[in-house]
Amino acid sequence: MRRLIVFLGMMAVCGAGLAAEGVGSAGEGRVAAVLLEAKDWPSDGGDWRTWSQRDEISPKFWVDEKVFLKGKSSLAISGGGNPAANGRWEKIVSGIKGEKSYRLTAHYQAKDVAYERQHVIVRLDWLNSKGNRVEQPDYLTELTKEREWKRTEGTFQSPKNARAVRIELTLAWSPKGTVWWDSIRLVEVPQPNGRKVTIATVFCRPRGNKSSRENIRQFCEMLELAAKDHPDIVCLPEAMNMVGTRLSYVEAAEPIPGPSTKALGEVAKRFRFYVVAGLLERDGSNVFNTAVLIGRDGTLVGKYRKVYLPREEVEGGGTPGDSFPVFETDFGAIGMMICWDVQYVDPARALASQGADAIFLPIWGGNLTLAKARAIENQVYLVTSGYDMPTFIINPVGDVLAQASKEKPIVSETVDLDRRIKQPWLGDMKARFWKEWRADVKMPGWSE
């Protein structure tokens, strides 16, 4: 079944229709137009249309007058028992201007949908004046639960030659599932400011020191030098309390929090930045290879214990960690990996799937290609600080933004964590990846 009606004339009004609302930030005096306010539908869906690629995979569509959020009905889709069912409610909205920001909000309620992130999809498909796609669609990924309903939303910049947009509300490959859509809103908004963060990383390899204290003092001096760039966060390398000394893993290990985190925290507090640092940790009889996150106030925010240990660390008395925590900062969520973790796909995937915007990787030595792959695979910034591995800042498409060296031991880069990097033929993979990732398919050999 294909009932796609292209509408590019005067904007159709649905629900509350066309309105104007001031949504600019204080002092801007900007008024943003509501292009669509939809919260009720006639029995045939009104000017919303249904679409499926062909009749044999078309789901069941109807306007449900028993389930709704704010109006008196909702747009419903059911898989109808067909595993191949894939279809959507859609509406084309004109009045779009090129290179402007638009925010779409949609509410839905799902029943018997096993994996909502992939099976329940909202997209904005940008069109030119002839009704043709001008760029890869944008996917909504922000999600908030409101009792039995969920609100999904996102803010996007329209392509330069966009003149209309198709709003698509999809249920895909969920034979037992049903989804109800209600309270759909599209509004032009002021250009977002973004989330700017200045990241610094350090190349420093102490040699000939006799104690952990001497090593940490040297790294504190590097942090003081890094402060000249006014970073928000600084990355230091792995096993800082052992490298370059004659101490073993066990001899170098110390409590966390402990003397090293105290010394690093004093510098972090003085310059008001976060610090990621690799330390060997003792906890009872266990010795962990640990990365710590120290806050702007100098206190310990949290720690990550290296999950993947190479045999050398096992033989040296190390114990593996068992989780991949993500930590909230005042600029976004971050995760940490350590050295050998980069050899495996699941540490970075686990961190990114929990919302990490950037991954910090204290590392001794490793594979440059794999580090880039982890950034690309998960569409995150990846920051290393190493000894036998390049020390660099990588963006989500694998570009090296800055690299430290003996000649330039400290580098920094200011990045916008909200910037969407659109690639030819792919679009914004950060959003697209999570909607297309088949986490519902069990991988042979992987534990539950």
| Per-residue pLDDT tens over the stretch 43-93 | 888 889 999 999 999 999 999 999 999 889 999 999 999 999 999 999 999
Q: Tell me which of 22-26, 190-194, 318-322, 440-444 is least confident.
A: 22-26
More confident residue, 241 or 147: 241
As a whole number of angstroms, the distance between CA 235 and CA 443 comes to 34
Task: Note the pLDDT tens digit of each residue in 226-237.
Answer: 999 999 999 999
Q: Is the pLDDT of residue 5 over 90?
A: no
How much of the chain, in percent, has pLDDT values that exceed 70? 92
Q: Which of 19-23, 151-155, 182-186, 305-309 has the lowest mean pLDDT?
A: 19-23
Where do the domains of the chain lie, and which CATH numbers do they carry? 19-189 (2.60.120.260), 196-417 (3.60.110.10)
**pLDDT score, position 447:** 61
Residues annotated as catalytic (active site), given as ranges: 238, 306, 339
CA distance 195 to 272: 18
- Mean per-residue pLDDT for 405-421? 93
Tokens 């700017």 map to which residue?
Answer: 196
Q: Write out pLDDT tens, residues 294-339.
A: 999 999 999 999 999 999 999 999 999 999 999 999 999 999 999 9
Per-residue pLDDT band for 98 (boundaries 50, 70, 90) equals very high
Nearest to 304 by CA among 286, 288, 291: 291
Helix, strand, coil abundance in the chain, percent, nearest 5? 20, 35, 45
Q: Do 387 and 206 form a contact (C-beta atoms < 8 A)? A: no
Cis preceding-peptide flag for 257 (omega within 30 of 0): yes
Predicted confidence at residue 388, as pLDDT, reads: 95
pLDDT score at 424: 83
Cβ(360)–Cβ(333) under 8 Å? no
pLDDT of residue 36: 87
Q: Please answer whether residues 153 and 102 qualify as being in contact, where contact means their C-beta atoms are separated by less than 8 angstroms.
A: no
* pLDDT over 70 at 11, yes or no: no
Mean pLDDT score of the chain? 90
Average pLDDT over residues 140-158: 91
Give the global pTM.
0.87
* pLDDT value of position 192: 85
C-beta separation of 398 from 187 below 8 A: no
At 438 the pLDDT is 81
Would you state the pLDDT for residue 28? 37
Largest CA distance in the chain: 80
Angle made by CA atoms 33, 35, 37, in degrees to the nearest 5: 110
Q: What integer is the mean pLDDT of 409-426? A: 90
On the question of pLDDT at 444 being above 80, the answer is: no
- What is the band of 442 on the pLDDT scale with cuts at 50, 70, 90? confident
